[in-house]
């Protein structure tokens, strides 16, 4: 909402704000000036999203993915003709410490 600041000059000028859209200013000569503020039009934007596509395959390179009880730092490894998660504590570097 816009804020309107009105400063009355000369001192005998009075300004009355009736509501956010109507302002009445009584000028020194006694005549009244009525100002009507037209609010900015409200813009409505509708986003129409399409329907979701089919789920992707549960496979990598044609081999199935079988993840069970995943936890932090698991690694995805190829084991027994499928991709599976292996806990970090079971992974070694082959003895090269």
Encoded tokens for 95: 């003895």
Q: Where are the beta strands (DSSP E) in 1-97?
A: 14-19, 22-26, 32-36, 59-60, 63-66, 75-79, 82-86
Question: Phi/psi of residue 34, each to 5°?
Answer: -100, 130
Q: Say what the pLDDT of residue 74 is.
A: 92
Quick check: 69 pLDDT over 60? yes
Cis omega (within 30 of 0) for bond into 10: yes
Which residues, 6 or more positions from 21, have their beta carbon under 8 angstroms from its beta carbon?
A: 36, 37, 38, 39
Residue 96: pLDDT band by 50, 70, 90 thresholds?
low
Q: How far apart are CA 79 and CA 62, in angstroms?
A: 14
Mean pLDDT of 1-24: 60
Quick check: 12 pLDDT over 80? no
Mean pLDDT of 47-57: 84
Quick check: 65 pLDDT over 60? yes
pTM above 0.75, yes or no: no
């Amino acid at each position: 909402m816009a804020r309107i600041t009105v400063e009355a000059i000369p001192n005998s000028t009075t300004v009355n704000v009736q509501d956010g859209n109507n302002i009445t200013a009584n000028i020194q000569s006694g005549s009244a000036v009525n100002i009507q503020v037209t609010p900015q039009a409200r813009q409505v934007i509708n986003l129409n999203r399409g329907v979701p596509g089919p789920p992707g395959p549960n496979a990598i390179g044609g081999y199935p993915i079988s993840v069970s009880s995943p936890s932090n730092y698991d690694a995805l490894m190829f084991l027994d003709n499928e991709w599976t998660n292996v806990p970090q504590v079971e992974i070694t570097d082959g003895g090269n410490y």
